[in-house]
Structure formats: C-alpha cells, structure tokens
C-alpha cells in the first residue's frame, strides 16, 4: 500500500521482490465511515463478497491511520 502526504487515497499494489508490480486498487474517502473501494477487474473477480471487499478497505484505512 502506498500513500502520498496529505492524500486521502491509499493505492494498493501486488509486490514482486518487495517492489510494486501490479495495481490492485484504490481506497478513497478514507476518513468516511464506509470508505470507497475501486479495484482492478481481476481482483474484483476474486473478492466476490462485500465482506471480503470491506475487509480489504479496512486494512487500507488502518494503513492510512498509521
């Protein structure tokens, strides 16, 4: 996950050898009670339930707050 200073978007990436390789998605409206989630279509096909997607968004919120 990456974030720029003063940004409210967390970018999520798959890593290869510790370096970003493939974009997974973005979590936005990070400070809202229900953050928005925009995913790569391949990842969207894997995360079929709302609970799985909300879990990923929650991890991004924790990362943003740290």
Lowest mean pLDDT among 19-23, 26-30, 53-57: 26-30
Q: What is the reported pLDDT for 25?
A: 93
Better-scored residue on pLDDT, 34 or 53: 53
Q: What is the reported pLDDT for 6?
A: 75
Lowest mean pLDDT among 3-7, 16-20, 40-44, 52-56: 3-7
Q: What is the reported pLDDT for 42?
A: 92
Strands laid side by side in the 19-28 sheet: 10-16, 19-28, 36-39
What's the pTM value of the predicted model, to 2 decimals?
0.75
């Amino acid at each position: 996950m990456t974030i720029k200073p003063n940004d409210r978007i967390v970018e999520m990436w798959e890593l290869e050898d510790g370096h970003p390789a493939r974009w997974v998605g973005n979590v936005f409206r990070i400070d809202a009670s229900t953050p928005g989630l925009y995913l790569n279509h391949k990842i969207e096909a894997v995360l079929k339930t709302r609970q799985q997607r909300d879990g990923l968004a929650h991890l991004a919120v924790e990362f943003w707050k740290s």
